[in-house]
Structure 1
Amino acid sequence: MILNNPFAILAESVPSILLQSFVILMVGLVIIGTLVDIIHKKNVKYFFNNAKKAKLSATKELSAGEKITVIAKTVATDIATTAELGAGKRRIAHVLGMYGTILFWIASAVMIFCYTSSDQITPTVWPIMWHVGAIMTCVGGYWFWLFLRVDVLAEAYPWYRIIKADLFVLALLACATFGLAWSYTQSLNLENRWDDKVFLTLYIVSNLILFGGVYWSKFAHMFYKPGAAIQKNLAEADGSRDNLPPPADAPEQFGLGIKRETPKHY
């Protein structure tokens, strides 16, 4: 199973061009959904206006080298390792899910566009990357969904409580889960059995929901958050601090209540 390219097997009954067109359609849906989100919610406009306003209160002019250093540090810490979450389970779950998804998507694109012809042999690295990525996504995603979500961990809501903001993570988990199930049942060579076809259908539907629901989910946040993190660190470096006051030069006083339980409220 883990060494097989499921898309190459699928291409024996479905033209490769349809598989490739589906991927292009998904990319198009992401672009359209993100643009609609930008226009309707005006996130980018707010971001640039806030950056322009903060620049006026800067106390230091950053050189090009200093800006590059800040950006590189932000990419290496806040973005690549989600440092904003601090050390702990939540950060590990996010890193597993993030890199698992990246591997899953990259391997999918490579196998669909490069290795679905009957005369091409798929290097084993790509199916392995696809399956490992899906497994990492499931481990990180289900760990987060069942145990680490704020409304489950800190607010005592049941794990099965679903709101619109959960669309992204649930659709992503569905893609990885049904993808693995489809690959497994496909590898069993069930001939005309229904099993692999059902999971393939669910895999397709979950992809449509994931990439077609960008406007209603948190998918677009993947594009906003890196920019916001870079702007935040640049603002701290030039002294503007996004128009926020500097930290108070005084000891932190939380009262005795802080000792009653380990802080876990976000």
Structure 2
Amino acid sequence: MQAYVVLMFILVIGGTVLDMIHKKSAKYFFAKAKAAQASRTRELGAGDKIGIAVSTVAVDVMTSGEFCNPRRRISHLFTMYGFILFVVTTVALVFAYPTNEAPSIVSQLWHLSAAMVMFGGYWFWFFIRVDVSAEGNPWYRIVKADMFILSLLGTTTFGLVWSILQANGVAPWTTVFLALFIIAATVLFAGVLWSKFAHMFFKPAAAFNKRVIKADGSRENLPELGDLSDPALHKRFPDIPEYMGKNPANMGLGIKREQPQHY
């Protein structure tokens, strides 16, 4: 089992690197940063960048502040922290206690983490997904992008069921669910290149970069518009009053007025 965990770790690293090469993510970020140098209005010091990094971790990473929908945010937090705890406790059980009985707290945290992932993941799958909640597609409609969430739910669900069956001595089904657990975990960690797994490594970098370009004034080489209700700005950009009205700052809730459930 230790060799299997090491292999999955290698596959995650390899898949992430291949994903970066395939999508040219790193090249894009470096090119974008270089292009923004000419339009910076201020230079950020080390303290500024540290502050931005702390804000990124606190808001965008640890609390998933990019989600406006509170249900989506809570679901994501349960899934994210459950997955992190699941991986940590699995590694502890496999490497720290390969033959000896693990402390009860480690086992309890492993089961709790699996339940957290299942709670957040199934809530998302059945009720929050835009395919289901906004577009009216049935929950059982599966596309390639669902590979990550389904393999994640399969890993935690089959793992939890396997543990319960093993504790109760249900021998035949224990083997079946152990096999399903391993298959789902293999798909999850070996399928990084074809799933959304790798995006969890890119999102913090993208969030940090977004805050940096706002702080240094480069604004992705976009102009600073200023007050959208300014008549001089309307004269310069007539599309603003034509499509947004003369007082865009007070347009109301817009798309946030109601949930898009018109199917």
* Deviation of the 1:253 alpha carbon: 7.1
Query: What is the aligned partner in structure 1 of residue 68 from structure 2?
Result: 86
Count of residue correspondences: 243
What is the one-letter code of the residue matched to 1:262? E
How far apart in 1 are the matches of 2:256 and 2:90? Answer: 49
Change in Cα spacing, 1:116 to 1:263, as seen in structure 2 (3 Å) is: same
Of the candidates 130, 134, 149, which is equivalent to residue 169 of structure 1? 149
Of the candidates 97, 106, 114, which is equivalent to residue 79 of structure 2? 97
Change in Cα spacing, 1:63 to 1:151, as seen in structure 2 (3 Å) is: same
Contact 2:147 2:195 survives alignment (8 Å): yes
Q: What does residue range 55-66 of structure 1 map to in structure 2 within 5 Å? A: 55-66=37-48
How far apart in 1 are the matches of 2:23 and 2:212? Answer: 24
Q: TM-score, normalised by structure 1?
A: 0.86
**Deviation readout 1:85-133 (Å, 9 max, x if unpaired):** 025100000000000000000000011001022xx34122211111111
Residue aligned with 1:189, SS:
coil
Query: What is the aligned partner in structure 1 of residue 214 from structure 2?
Result: 236
Q: What does residue range 218-233 of structure 1 map to in structure 2 within 5 Å? A: 218-233=196-211
Are 2:213 and 1:213 equivalent residues in the alignment? no
Change in Cα spacing, 1:52 to 1:256, as seen in structure 2 (3 Å) is: closer
Change in Cα spacing, 1:29 to 1:259, as seen in structure 2 (3 Å) is: closer
Query: What is the aligned partner in structure 2 of residue 26 from structure 1?
Result: 8
* Deviation of the 1:242 alpha carbon: 2.1
How far apart in 2 are the matches of 1:230 and 1:257? Answer: 28
How far apart in 2 are the matches of 1:235 and 1:65? Answer: 16
Are 2:52 and 1:70 equivalent residues in the alignment? yes
Are 2:93 and 1:111 equivalent residues in the alignment? yes
What is the one-letter code of the residue matched to 2:75? A
Of the candidates 103, 120, 129, which is equivalent to residue 109 of structure 2? 129
Between 19-28 and 248-257, report the one with greater CA deviation. Answer: 248-257
How far apart in 2 are the matches of 1:83 and 1:76? Answer: 9
Change in Cα spacing, 1:50 to 1:259, as seen in structure 2 (3 Å) is: closer
Of the candidates 195, 211, 216, which is equivalent to residue 173 of structure 2? 195
Query: What is the aligned partner in structure 2 of residue 140 from structure 1?
Result: 120
How far apart in 2 are the matches of 1:103 and 1:185? Answer: 22
Of the candidates 120, 128, 139, which is equivalent to residue 159 of structure 1? 139
How far apart in 2 are the matches of 1:221 and 1:259? Answer: 26
Between 52-61 and 216-225, report the one with greater CA deviation. Answer: 52-61
Change in Cα spacing, 1:263 to 1:235, as seen in structure 2 (3 Å) is: farther
Gaps of 5+ in 2: 229-246
Choose between structure 1 and 2 for higher RCO, CA contacts under 8 A separated by at least 6 residues. Answer: 1
Q: TM-score, normalised by structure 2?
A: 0.87
Change in Cα spacing, 1:70 to 1:260, as seen in structure 2 (3 Å) is: closer
Query: What is the aligned partner in structure 2 of residue 182 from structure 1?
Result: 162
Change in Cα spacing, 1:115 to 1:131, as seen in structure 2 (3 Å) is: same
